[in-house]
Amino acid sequence: MNRLTSIVSLIVVYVYLSGVCYAQDENKVAQHLQDISVTIKAGYSEGSGVIISRELLLSSESSEKIKVNFVWTAGHVVDGLRSTRTVIDSTGKPKTIIEFKDAQVVKELVEEGRKVGELKMDAKVILYSDARDGEDLALLLVRKRGFVDQNTEFYKEKNNIPIGASLLHVGSLLGQAGANSMTSGIMSQVGRVLNLGSGDGTVFDQTTVTAFPGSSGGGVFLKDGKYIGMLVRGSGETFNLIVPIRRMAKWAKDRKIEWALDTSKPAPTIDAIKNMGPENAVLENNNGEESQSATLFPFLIRTTKPKSLKRFEPLRYEDKVP
């Protein structure tokens, strides 16, 4: 009897300690996701993003490595910063030059359960792919070196995330006012195909994590904190679409920036990165009309432009807050 009691006691202690350790792990993951998530301000638009950190050489002549930060966000979040102009090249032919104003990366500071301030840094758009005929992705370089130390861990497995898997989302729901909001949900479908522009359609995964305008560009994560996709579109708070990590990985490979997802991959110098040209010129046949799929699943950006100044823009999931 005493032996049985001892065994039961050991089981109870084991279960209790397991629960404590699990709760501690959850808290660590939650804090880490808060640390790597930022708000992106781009003109009259507000969205979300995640930070990555790399130690890189300044130039091919230097030997000392410098810590720099990059931010992954959605292409449509920074689209309002884009401008184009036509120049004549050395052969006498017209050439379209794509330029971006700097975005602003905002990181909240919290102490003892209260917001105590925020850090704001300018960020250069170094790579961009538009939402209609591209991948709807953008990579930013934070101009302040060593802005933060945190780093996003990306999902590297080849198999897709199974339907029903538990997920977390951290984003700036309703913009800066809801910065670093964490929500949860599941993977509700894999491989949704939307016809947004030219081509055979664009592949998304579908989740039920709660999202609002401002969530665009924010990360969606497994419970262990691994990044599995970027939230970009939605049709209701818990019916949204992400750019899956497999699409991001393919784009990164095509653009030779695998180092932006995998720390084991070699990276160019800071000077070389600054000289990268953004992708995707404005298409000549883009008449501003949205496809039916785009209308059903509008962007989840927070628009701050006064209504009196608004011009025609693609339909977006408007705020429902008075």
Cβ contact 35:28 at 8 Å:
no
Structure tokens at 69: 């930060």
Q: How does residue 308 score in pLDDT terms, banded at 50, 70 and 90? A: low
What does the pLDDT read at residue 317?
45
Neighbouring residues of 93: CB distance < 8 A, sequence distance ≥ 6: none
User: Over the stretch 160-195, which tens digit does the pLDDT of each residue have?
Assistant: 999 999 999 999 998 888 888 999 999 999 998 888
Instruction: Please give the radius of gyration of the chain, using alpha carbons only, rounded to the nearest integer.
Output: 22
Answer yes or no: is pLDDT of 311 > 50.
no
- Residues 200-216 pLDDT 10s: 788 999 999 999 999 99
The residue extents of the domains of the chain are 3-304
18's enclosing H/E stretch is helix 2-36
Confidence class for position 315, pLDDT limits 50, 70, 90? very low
Q: Looking at the predicted structure, is the pLDDT value of residue 283 above 60? A: no
The pLDDT-based confidence of 314 (bands split at 50, 70, 90) is very low
CB neighbour burial string for 171-205, b if at least 16 within 10 angstroms, e if fewer: bbbbbbebbbbbbebbbbeeebebebbeeeebebb
β pairing state of 45-57 and 82-88: unpaired
Take residue 162 and report the two structure tokens written for it: 């199974």
Give the mean pLDDT of the chain: 83
pLDDT, tens only, 81-126: 988 888 887 888 888 888 899 999 999 888 888 888 888 999 999 9
> What whole-number distance in Å separates Cα of residue 153 and Cα of residue 73?
15
Q: What does the pLDDT read at residue 118?
A: 87
Mean pLDDT of 314-321: 46
What is the CATH architecture of 3-304?
Beta Barrel (2.40)
Task: Label residue 222 exposed, middle or buried (CB < 10 Å: 0-12, 13-18, 19+).
Answer: middle
Nearest in space to 169 (alpha carbons), one of 37, 28, 320, 316: 37
Give percent of the chain above pLDDT 70: 81
- pLDDT confidence of 281, banded at 50, 70, 90? very low
pLDDT band at 286 (very low <50, low <70, confident <90, very high): very low
| 79-102 b/e (C-beta count within 10 Å ≥ 16 → b) | bbbbeeeeeeeeeeeeeeebebeb
Neighbouring C-beta atoms of residue 247, cutoff 10 Å: 19
The per-residue pLDDT for range 25-76, each reduced to its tens digit, is: 778 999 999 999 999 999 889 999 999 999 998 988 888 889 999 999 999 9
Q: What average pLDDT does range 301-314 have in this prediction?
A: 61
**Residue 149 backbone zone (phi > 0: left; psi -120 to 50: alpha; other: beta):** alpha
Q: Strand pairing partners for 37?
A: 50
Nearest to 230 by CA among 171, 190, 158: 171
pLDDT over 90 (residue 303): no
What is the pLDDT at residue 5?
A: 66
Torsion of CA 212, 219, 33, 48, to 10 degrees: -60
Confidence category of residue 7, pLDDT binned at 50, 70, 90:
low
pLDDT of 169? 96
Q: Tell me how far CA of residue 30 lies from CA of 144, 160, 215, in angstroms.
A: 26, 23, 17
> 203 near 68, Cβ under 8 Å?
no
How confident is the model at residue 208, as a pLDDT? 96
What whole-number distance in Å separates Cα of residue 68 and Cα of residue 141?
Answer: 8
- The yes-or-no verdict on residue 243 having pLDDT over 80 is yes
pLDDT of residue 149: 86
Q: 251-280 pLDDT, tens per residue? A: 999 999 999 999 899 999 999 998 887 765
CA–CA distances in Å: residue 296 to residues 124, 129, 300, 316 = 31, 21, 12, 10
